Structure 1
């Protein structure tokens, strides 16, 4: 667990990698977002925002990483209804 926490705290992880690591910690150890936030020294809202990134399909996440979308752009895609997401992803990608 310590290694995963250290990896999350490193600066060179992208937002998707952070989200995946956080979700794995929650799944494996049964942490709530609040518990994980305390362990990582982050706000619960930060954990929630990262985990929310994983709502996108694997294909959209892969495209987002390939085209270096920032977390803000990915969150904007998440807020769109599915059909608009498919149409608008070309704006970002």
Structure 2
């Protein structure tokens, strides 16, 4: 019985972690080498990265982007990976 609870809890934690880190169909995740503290510089870095990938990007303000005709919401996550803080950018598809 305790093995079933352990397996169920492990699967639940894995799914929660994946959801928090933006691993969902339609989302765009970007990890930058640099940390951005200034919102304007951060938005410019996102735009440049996506434009270099060949996407059409417009920043609409208030954390909203229009990428290839679809609307996305900008979410920033700070995660510790191996003791080093990482700034993860998640662009969530706004349905």
- Same fold judged by TM-score > 0.5? no
Q: Give the structure with the larger strand fraction.
A: 2
Rg larger for: 2
Could you tell me the TM-score, scaled by structure 1's length? 0.26
Relative contact order, higher structure (CA 8 A, sep 6+): 2
